[in-house]
Amino acid sequence: MNILIENGAFGGTVRAPASKSAAHRLLICAALAQGETELECSDVSKDIAATAHCLNALGARIERTENGFSVIPVDFGRLPEKAVCRCGESGSTFRFLIPVAAALGIDTDFLPEGRLPQRPLSPLYEELIVHGTRMSAQGSVPFSVRGKLTAGDYALAANVSSQFISGLLFALPLAEGESRIRLTGKFESRSYVDMTVGALRLFGVPIGFENDTYTLSGCEYHTPGFVRAEGDWSNAAFWLCAGVTGSASVTVTGLSSDSLQGDRAIVDILKDFGARIETDCDRATVYPSQLRAIRINAENIPDLVPVLAVTACAAEGETVIYNAARLRLKESDRLNSVCALIRSLGGEARETDDGLVITGKILSGGVCDSFGDHRIAMSAAVASIQCGGNVTVTGAEAVGKSYPRFWADFAALGGRIKNGYWIMNNQIDH
């Protein structure tokens, strides 16, 4: 499905959607806790829905409410013998719940879609096998998990995927005995693991961390009764970057300035670009600004790279993004797809081994492919604000993976959508 965007004025106020990262973690903790939980979650994307579906398959009872979810946890005395988990293209769902299913001892078949089956599971895969789990070959669909995970000593490279670490942290409280997760190499994307630890502690799970090692023992999760998924800084970043190159200021509300989300770094990065940006309580406001090229270390902010790259098109000079090699294994090869996006709109960008080099240049407009990747589709919309001509985004429905109301919010801020589709209430209609 295609979206045609005409050039026009852009600015206003928008509420940040609920954090997908927070919602995944809170749903998992609630499903494993003693007692029922009400989760306030203002937005439900395809990825969040996939996690809820899979937890239901593992024995929880999660239902949508007007404001989010009602969660009745799994009954550890009456666990299902078998489960089928349809995780779509959600890497968090897949990688978090493999260890959880193994710790519960449920024979589980996971059905990943898109590029997800090709994304690596090592070294988590090998560590799970050592500790009592049997699995089908990596890349298999369905991906089968059998056996029961045991406590003990685990070792994981910390520069492959923070999701592996989080998955074990969710699972090991369910195993009897003490466990240690020793991290090797450079710890990248630590903020995501910090979010996991924060969620676990909210549900009464004690975790220690010293000398690059997490320590935890078998224990019960206990619900606080009510939890809230905070606003999403990674999706707020699209509007903040749009405001820098738009015609009027953009304010994003519903954010937490002391959030554990690593992508709150968007504020400081935009300031480095030369943007005027202000934060106050639960909001951030950015103003149209003249930008200068910078160097961006992406090791802890991989999800910001696509929108930062299109923002760099408006910066004078040559912006370099590095430590971003892991982006080749996302919903698309994002180093390649970001370059293709920028070039299709008349810009200049090239790939390096681990990043991108973008030369500031006025964008003309054109037709760009989302590659079925939600962050590429949303970055294309942000890029359109700089363009002198119209922009057509193919595969625009990809935004539903993380931000179903994206196009509605884009239009509310002044984005002019023609001859396309209106996206509202998680539905796409002619």
- Do the Cβ atoms of 134 and 147 come closer than 8 Å? yes
The candidate with the shortest Cα–Cα distance to 154, out of 99, 117, 93, is 99
- Is residue 80 helix, strand or coil? coil
Q: What is the pLDDT of residue 419?
A: 57
- Do the Cβ atoms of 76 and 266 come closer than 8 Å? no
Single pTM value for the model = 0.92
Q: Residue-wise pLDDT tens for the chain (430 aa)?
A: 899 999 889 999 999 999 999 999 999 999 999 999 999 998 899 999 999 999 999 999 999 999 999 999 999 999 999 999 999 999 999 999 999 999 999 999 999 999 999 999 999 999 999 999 999 999 999 999 999 999 999 999 999 999 999 999 999 999 999 999 999 999 989 999 999 999 999 999 999 999 999 999 999 999 999 999 999 999 999 999 999 999 999 999 999 988 999 999 999 999 999 999 999 889 999 999 999 999 999 999 999 999 999 999 999 999 999 999 999 989 999 999 999 999 999 999 999 999 999 999 999 999 999 999 999 999 999 999 999 999 999 999 999 999 999 999 999 999 999 855 444 333 333 2
The candidate with the shortest Cα–Cα distance to 232, out of 253, 249, 203, 251, is 253
Catalytic residue status for 109: no
Q: Which domains does the chain have, with CATH numbers?
A: 2-17+231-429 (3.65.10.10), 20-228 (3.65.10.10)
- Do the Cβ atoms of 338 and 364 come closer than 8 Å? no
Sign of CA dihedral 156, 158, 163, 165: positive
Reported residue count of the chain is 430
Beta strands in 26-152 (DSSP E): 33-34, 37-40, 61-64, 68-72, 82-88, 107-112, 133-135, 143-147
- Is residue 214 helix, strand or coil? strand
- Is residue 362 helix, strand or coil? coil
- Do the Cβ atoms of 87 and 54 come closer than 8 Å? yes
Q: What is the pLDDT of residue 8?
A: 86
Among residues 303, 369, 373, 409, which one is catalytic? 303
Q: What is the pLDDT of residue 200?
A: 98
Task: Give the Cα separation of 63 and 56 in Å (integer).
Answer: 9
